[in-house]
């Protein structure tokens, strides 16, 4: 496992290849991750929102995570993160423990998203129990802040308490909030003490200005070359506004045809010769009446 300060850069919130019967195409997982590496990604998050993580059983998740390890046979430094958060405390503990046993560099953990408006003490106890029972010494857990989806925000005070209680294992946060104010607050409160990954392409440059170490986004499946250039140019103090504008424009296409997984899979099939992998219900493939329109827009907007 890599130390937290080595987990940085452009990380794709990877899609999950699926057959027409909705089963994971395990043999395609390392091939796809290698594609992401060639496109400039430092690593990938498996089984996040874009990877349809909540749609899979624990045994399916483990099979997908195991298949991803093959990418390191040719790309040994490829960062692998696992999405292990579920509403079940025990299931989350087991998935997290097993991900570290496999050798994943870290886990990105949603809050328990079924019960909303729970007290902060409940979330502290939940995350603390996961850390104490499943995150080994040297292991890194990242909270996943996506309140517009999960309905359960990770507040600044909650993050501060977790960092104080578990300074070695609570490594940081994937911040997918659309609110620029929260990005500013994270930087002002934690600086470099918390490893912050932007989950919002529109706010990537703002996140870097507020001490973020990189991004974990759906758009990195398609536009990681731009994200990588922005990340590298920022580290050198070079102008990045034009790259941020490109990411905003590209993200506009993703947001125009939600949800992201079927759209990304369709675009990958059209421009990168991957199969047009399906999605698992309740998601459905892109509307057939929109395919040509989306293909044309993607060709012009994404500069593929």
Could you give the CA distance from residue 141 to residue 143 in angstroms, rounded to a whole number? Answer: 7
pLDDT in the model for residue 5: 67
107: which strand partners?
82, 141
Alpha helices in 69-217 (DSSP H): 89-102, 120-134, 147-150, 156-165, 180-190, 204-209
pLDDT in the model for residue 299: 94
Burial of 291 (0-12, 13-18, 19+ CB in 10 A): middle
pLDDT in the model for residue 4: 64
pLDDT tens, position by position, 174-232 = 999 999 999 999 999 999 999 999 999 999 999 999 999 999 999 999 999 999 999 99
Tokens 């079940």 identify what position? 88
Confidence at 160, pLDDT banded by 50, 70, 90: very high
pLDDT in the model for residue 302: 87
Confidence at 6, pLDDT banded by 50, 70, 90: confident
Question: Would you call the peptide bond into 259 cis, given omega within 30 degrees of 0 as the criterion?
Answer: yes
Q: What is the pTM of this model?
A: 0.96
Annotated active-site residue in 8, 174, 246, 265: 174
Could you give the CA distance from residue 280 to residue 275 in angstroms, rounded to a whole number? Answer: 15
Annotated active-site residue in 127, 144, 234, 257: 144
| pLDDT average, residue stretch 6-31 | 97
Tokens of 46: 């498996």
pLDDT tens, position by position, 275-291 = 999 999 999 999 999 99
pLDDT > 70 in the chain, percent:
98
Mean pLDDT taken over the chain:
96
The H-or-E segment that residue 293 falls in is helix 291-301
Confidence at 251, pLDDT banded by 50, 70, 90: very high
Burial of 1 (0-12, 13-18, 19+ CB in 10 A): middle
Tokens of 35: 């594609």
Say if residue 304's pLDDT is above 80: no
Is 217 a residue of the active site? no
Is 144 a residue of the active site? yes
Domains of the chain: 4-239 (3.20.20.70)
Tokens of 71: 């990418």
Say if residue 32's pLDDT is above 80: yes
Could you give the CA distance from residue 12 to residue 72 in angstroms, rounded to a whole number? Answer: 16
pLDDT in the model for residue 241: 97
43: which strand partners?
11, 79
Annotated active-site residue in 8, 16, 32, 49: 49
Tokens 């958060």 identify what position? 85
Burial of 265 (0-12, 13-18, 19+ CB in 10 A): buried
Could you give the CA distance from residue 248 to residue 17 in angstroms, rounded to a whole number? Answer: 26
Phi, psi dihedrals of residue 236, rounded to the nearest 5°: -95, 0
Could you give the CA distance from residue 219 to residue 53 in angstroms, rounded to a whole number? Answer: 17
Say if residue 22's pLDDT is above 70: yes
Query: Which residues fall within 8 angstroms of residue 258, CB to CB, at 6 or more apart?
Result: none
Annotated active-site residue in 114, 256, 272, 293: 114
Query: Which residues fall within 8 angstroms of residue 208, CB to CB, at 6 or more apart?
Result: 198, 230, 231, 234
């Amino acid at each position: 496992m890599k130390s937290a300060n080595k987990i940085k850069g452009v990380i794709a919130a990877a899609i999950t290849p699926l057959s027409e019967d909705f089963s994971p195409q395990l043999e395609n997982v390392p091939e796809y991750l290698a594609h992401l590496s060639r496109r400039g990604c430092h690593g990938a998050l498996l089984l996040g929102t874009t990877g349809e993580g909540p749609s899979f059983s624990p045994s399916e998740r483990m099979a997908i995570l195991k298949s991803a390890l093959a990418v390191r046979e040719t790309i040994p430094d490829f960062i692998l993160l696992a999405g292990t958060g579920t509403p079940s405390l025990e299931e989350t503990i087991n998935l997290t423990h097993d991900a570290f046993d496999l050798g994943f560099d870290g886990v990105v953990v949603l809050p328990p998203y079924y019960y909303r408006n729970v007290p902060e003490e409940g979330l502290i106890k939940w995350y603390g129990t996961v850390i104490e029972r499943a995150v080994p010494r040297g292991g890194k857990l990242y909270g996943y802040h996506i309140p517009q989806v999960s309905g359960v925000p990770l507040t600044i005070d909650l993050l501060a308490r977790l960092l104080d209680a578990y300074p070695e294992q609570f490594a940081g946060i994937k911040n997918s909030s659309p609110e620029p104010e929260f990005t500013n607050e994270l930087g002002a409160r934690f600086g470099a003490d918390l490893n912050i990954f932007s989950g919002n392409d529109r706010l990537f440059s703002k996140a870097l200005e507020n001490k973020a170490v990189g991004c974990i986004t759906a758009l990195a499946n398609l536009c990681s070359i731009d994200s990588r250039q922005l990340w590298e140019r920022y580290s050198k103090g070079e102008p990045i506004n034009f790259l941020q504008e490109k990411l905003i424009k590209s993200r506009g296409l993703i947001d125009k045809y939600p949800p992201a997984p079927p759209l990304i899979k369709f675009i990958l099939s059209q421009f990168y010769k991957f199969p047009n992998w399906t999605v698992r219900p309740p998601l459905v493939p892109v509307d057939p009446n929109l395919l040509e329109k989306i293909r044309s827009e993607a060709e012009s907007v994404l500069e593929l």
